[in-house]
Structure 1
Amino acid sequence: MFPTALSDHRKGLLLTAIGGLALSMDIPLVRLGDGDIWSVLGVRSAATVVATLVILAAMRLASGKWPVLVPGRPGLIAGLLYGISSLTFVLSVFNTATANVVFIVAFNPMFAALLSWIFLKEKPQPATLIAMLFMILGVGLIVHEGLASGHVFGDAMALLSALILAAAITIGRASRREMGFVPLLAAILPAALGLAQALPSGLAIAHPGWILFNGAIMMPVAFWCLATGPRYLSAPEVGMFYLLETVLAPIWVWLIFAETPATMTLVGGGILVAAIAGHSAWMVRRKHISQPAE
């Protein structure tokens, strides 16, 4: 049993690492596309929907049956939230610095902990509450910088994205149902909104190949790998790989576009990353200690 468990753990690490790396390329690819917000939102989301339908058709041919797509009312509500979060996320990318977006969206796990505490009566551990205080400090520093530089709308959209995503995750946790395809199919909503706004005057994307590559390949890979990882890893371990976007996206943007984050953004982001990483490491260690020896 031990070799099998070890193999599954390594499989989970590989999947979540690939997912985190793919997710970290989202913002740089959106920026490389160089288009207006509605064109980018519509094409990126439509590409994700088409890729998902192709994957579903392949699974149907291979297994002879359709996988679970949208599990009842919880799936519909979560899908609506995922769709709205795509809109707010793209709005944040177009209205504030990349570092601000990824650092603020990293607040998502703490929002999820708060919502679980309020609605699911899952009281967070003292270590989680301490991490939340540090994360509030970090986000406060970044938002303060946004106020000073005129990026308040973009920062607010990033914070709203984190809250909406946390709500979708909480609904999935409460329902205990399979939600793997929900965020992918939910791209129908931003695709319809973006194309409806962009098509009357024509799509305006200088380099559409980057947007198509992002929506059709990178996003499905990211979401599928990160949704499958919890089958083999604990939630805190999976959460640590979400940090790859927080750490790497500003680096990719700095290397490609020479966009250097503001000092206060780096300070606040450093506090956020340290708080999340420390909390995740503590949760993993606590889980291993609490497991009985075989």
Structure 2
Amino acid sequence: MTAISPPRPAAPLSHLAGVALVCVSAVVFSTAGIFTKAVDANAWSVIFWRGAGAAILSMGFLMMRGGFRDEVSRFGGVALLAAVVAASGTAAFIPAFKLTTVTNVVLIWATAPFVAAALAWLLIGERPGLKIMLTSLLALAGVGLTLRGSVGSGQLAGDLLALWMTLMMAAFYVIYRIWPGTPTVLPNVLASVILLVPGWILGGPMDTDGTEIGILLGFGLVFAVASITLTEGARRIPAAQTALLGALETPLAPLWAWLLLSELPTAWAVAGGMLVMVAVILSQTTFRRHKKEGVSHGH
């Protein structure tokens, strides 16, 4: 593989915009378990209808923005790779919610800072700063507390799918960090389209209740918004920070599951979620201080 030079640090305003966009995506993504578990449709039917809604709405966004030709002109091998990686992650993401708890999925997902940091360090030499590593360890401690309350649950298959989803999305972050000029919307549209065929064959989506189809198309809208804000934000900030900000989903998703699905998190999960929130807040305080001192973000 040809050596790739590390990307230049983002400009202050671009960095702040990246932080805001990734935070929005985390909040929106935190509702995914609610959409998935609120319907009786099987996982592949959920993937089909969510993907159809996301593809249509994403294309509508792109056309309204007037960026279709530009994204097509920049669509190449890297964009195709991003689409395949995103599709692989989604194919694991939805079944994981069906096979294990919302809390388990989001807590395994919270290990993404370590996966993304390792990949970015290996591929482009983007070494996370000491404070980012320490706050990531704090987030990991929160994950450990929550998983402590889930030992012996017998939900290994769902947990392993969540682990694969985490690996794929960490790779997705790093792709956009290495090649920030990669189009953001078309790869997400293609990822949804790729999954329509297995969704049709394995899920039998036409047998889905009409009301549930509406819910799942709404899920597609949510997914499209979250995907667009995530990819736009990920290109502006270091991969490890993107993944760490994504940990905002960790305390929010179990909260929605408790309020809307009566899926009560354990005391261990509550304690773990609080640690993750503290880690996120501390990491952002750190970056604001770096901005004032003129130190490069994330280095």
TM category (shorter chain) comes to 0.7 to 0.9
Q: Compute the TM-score of the two structures, normalised by the length of structure 2.
A: 0.80
Query: Number of residues paired by the alignment?
Result: 283
Q: 1:152 aligns with which of 156, 161, 164?
A: 156
1:97–1:261: 8 Å Cα contact kept in structure 2? no
Which stretch has the larger CA shift, 14-23 or 109-118?
Answer: 14-23
State the partner residue of 2:71.
68
- Distance in 2 of aligned mates of 1:253 and 1:122: 36
Q: CA deviation at 1:24?
A: 2.4
Letter in 2 for 1:67: D
State the partner residue of 1:209.
214
1:39–1:203: 8 Å Cα contact kept in structure 2? yes
Distance 1:266 1:77, change over 3 A: same
State the partner residue of 1:28.
34
1:39–1:204: 8 Å Cα contact kept in structure 2? no
2:78–2:182: 8 Å Cα contact kept in structure 1? no
State the partner residue of 1:267.
271
Which stretch has the larger CA shift, 254-263 or 143-152?
Answer: 143-152
State the partner residue of 1:245.
249
1:142–1:264: 8 Å Cα contact kept in structure 2? yes
- Distance in 2 of aligned mates of 1:162 and 1:285: 30
Q: 1:38 aligns with which of 34, 37, 44?
A: 44
Q: Compute the TM-score of the two structures, normalised by the length of structure 1.
A: 0.81
State the partner residue of 2:133.
129
Give yes or no for the alignment of 1:222 onto 2:226. Answer: yes
1:75–1:179: 8 Å Cα contact kept in structure 2? yes
- Distance in 2 of aligned mates of 1:252 and 1:120: 37
- Distance in 2 of aligned mates of 1:183 and 1:128: 28
2:21–2:232: 8 Å Cα contact kept in structure 1? yes
Distance 1:271 1:185, change over 3 A: same
Which stretch has the larger CA shift, 194-203 or 182-191?
Answer: 194-203
State the partner residue of 2:81.
77
1:115-142 superposed Cα distances (whole Å, 9 cap, x missing partner)? 1111212222222333343344443444
Distance 1:12 1:166, change over 3 A: closer
State the partner residue of 2:107.
103
Q: 2:53 aligns with which of 41, 47, 59?
A: 47
The percent of aligned pairs where both chains have the same amino acid is 26
Unmatched runs of 5 consecutive residues or more in structure 1: none
Distance 1:126 1:100, change over 3 A: same
Q: CA deviation at 1:198?
A: 1.7
Which stretch has the larger CA shift, 175-184 or 198-207?
Answer: 198-207
Aligned Cα root-mean-square deviation (Å):
3.2
State the partner residue of 1:184.
189
2:38–2:261: 8 Å Cα contact kept in structure 1? no
- Distance in 2 of aligned mates of 1:201 and 1:25: 24
2:136–2:244: 8 Å Cα contact kept in structure 1? no
2:18–2:237: 8 Å Cα contact kept in structure 1? no
1:61-100 superposed Cα distances (whole Å, 9 cap, x missing partner)? x57x613146321211121110000011112111111112
